[in-house]
Chains A and B, each alone.
Chain A
Amino acid sequence: MEPDGPFSRRESARLVSVLTRVFGVENLSLAEDVAQETLASAFEAWSYGGVPAHYSALLTASAKNRAIDVLRRERTARKFAPELTRFIESEWTLRPVVDDMFQPGALEDDELRMMFSCCHPRLHEEAQVPLILNILCGFHVDEIAAAFLASAAAIHKRLARGKKVLAGSIRLFDLKAHDFVERLSAVQRALYLLFNEGYHGASAEAVVRGDLCRQAMRLGGMLVAHGPSSIPSTKALASLMCLNAARLPARTDTAGDLKGLFDQDRSRWGPQLIAEGVELLADSAAGDELSAYHVEARIAALHATAPDARETPWGEIVDLYDVLMRIAPSPVVALNRAVALAQHQGAAPGLAALRSIRDKERLAGYPFYPAALGELELRLGHAVAALRHFEEAHRLARNAAERRFIEQRIAACD
């Protein structure tokens, strides 16, 4: 398995993006169909002969030929990209113009432009993330629904709305546009949510989770590689993803059971990803911007480089959560802060902090809030209260792995 996951995801994103530029955004579904046909016939052929070394160039060439056929066939029936319309009327200009559009440098820009286009301000984050997964990671409706534990109908609706907005935007996002930085922060946010869906999300399957995290990291890597988007907050986000991904293999044990941070086998954390994350974090310190990604990455780095839970600098972590509460407050951040505080000052202050979380009703459906309450009650020797909280957590658990995890905590109350 390649580090980015199946290479078809990357290739699909590349083809859909360039074809969308060639056909125009209003023909997005045509671009998706042509990309799909290109991949399907290539994989059919490679089922016999194997994947050739220059597969990417072959796919590009095949998509280009299909695009030319489509343009020729439909030039009178459809409206195509404005920059193309006057060239497709003549065979003399059709091929050279399309050739130009498929040049390697242009292809990378197309993918970035597509990524920025998916984060259109008229779309809610709930629509942006599935749209990115669909267009830039090649996930189909069923695969997204499975990853989000949502119904296929709900995902289909969000995608349809997203594509309607996309198709109405005349052309793909211009990377030199005046609102580039604004849009970049929406893109960062969407990738952050995509990664978190993989890291903390409801799907029980480790494979699916890893795939989501890898896709977010791949797209984040493209932002880091592209000069104008490679700003400190982008590097901090990439660092955060590396550092958390490093711990991903240890989040479940060999039996597929969830492991809390304190019980993880730290030898299974990926040293290469930790090193990469620490380096990106150092890089991200340039300039005076302090984003939430910086703070979260710093916290993740402290965990990733600590030999065990006892030698983790909890005081520093509590301070960082305080900073995070100032710049990006949320009940989940407050919950994590309380857990760190319990490590630093003891279970009683931790419990008090948990109980005084503002907006804690927003955590009502989140199993790890009652689980944290139960844990700290248990540490204080209040087994009856602990049991009540764990039972609540069990009721809220979203999949079998979470249920088994909480069952073990219930057993510890005896």
Chain B
Amino acid sequence: MSEFIFLYRRPPTPNLSPKQLEERMHRWRAWFDKLEKGGHLLKLGQPLADAGGCVVRDAKGTVTDGPYAETKDIVIGYSIIAAKDLAEAVRLTEGWPAFDEGGVLEVRPVLKM
């Protein structure tokens, strides 16, 4: 078994109605449940706030507002996944709810000695 980090990226989605927000939450829950039942969810991870952060640009402490205005798909959360190999990890992304909202899911192997 190898470890992968799933980095969830999605453009901002302003103006969803309460019902749409609630339904979106249920879709994420269902997707996480599926991963968990398959024994693939090593760490559920956390969502990240899309405002209130910053980017430190250099050792002098130059700071710019984050997240990155120039990228449309900012990281909105992460999880740690167990999969046999990259191919399986990619298969596990199936049904990720944010694909429908223009999201992209970055799959990165965790480097081990």
Report chain B residues within 8 Å CB of A11.
Answer: 18
Give the chain B neighbours of A40 by CB distance below 8 A.
16, 21
Residues of B contacting A228 with CB < 8 Å? none
Interface size on B, residues (CB 8 A): 21
| B29 adjacent to A138 (CB under 8 Å) | no
CA of A41 to CA of B76, assembled, Å: 11
- Knowing A41-B49, A43-B25, the reply to whether A48 touches B18 (Cβ < 8 A) is no
Contact for B18 among A39, A47, A49, CB less than 8 A:
A39
Nearest CB on A from B76, distance (A) = 7
* Distance from B29 Cβ to chain A, minimum over Cβ atoms (Å): 6
B99 in the interface (beta carbon within 8 A): no
Give the residues in chain A near B49, CB-CB below 8 Å.
41
* Cβ–Cβ contact A48 & B46, under 8 A: yes
Q: Beta-carbon contacts of A287-315 to B below 8 Å, as 1s and 0s? A: 00000000000000000000000000000
Contact of A7 with B22 at beta-carbon distance under 8 Å, contacts A47-B47, A48-B77 already known = yes
Interface SS, A side: helix
Q: Which residues of A contact B28 (CB under 8 A)?
A: 47-48
**Assembly CA distance A43 to B18 (angstroms):** 9
Contact partner, B19, options A45, A46, A143, Cβ 8 Å: A143
State how many angstroms separate the Cβ of B53 from the closest Cβ of chain A.
Answer: 14
Q: Given A11-B18, A12-B18, A47–B24 Cβ distance below 8 Å?
A: yes
Contacting pair B15 A8 (CB below 8 A): no
A50 to B17, CA, bound (A): 19
B-contacting residues of A (Cβ < 8 Å)?
6-9, 11-12, 36, 39-41, 43-51, 138-140, 143
Query: 3 tightest A-B contacts by CB?
Result: A47-B28, A8-B18, A138-B18
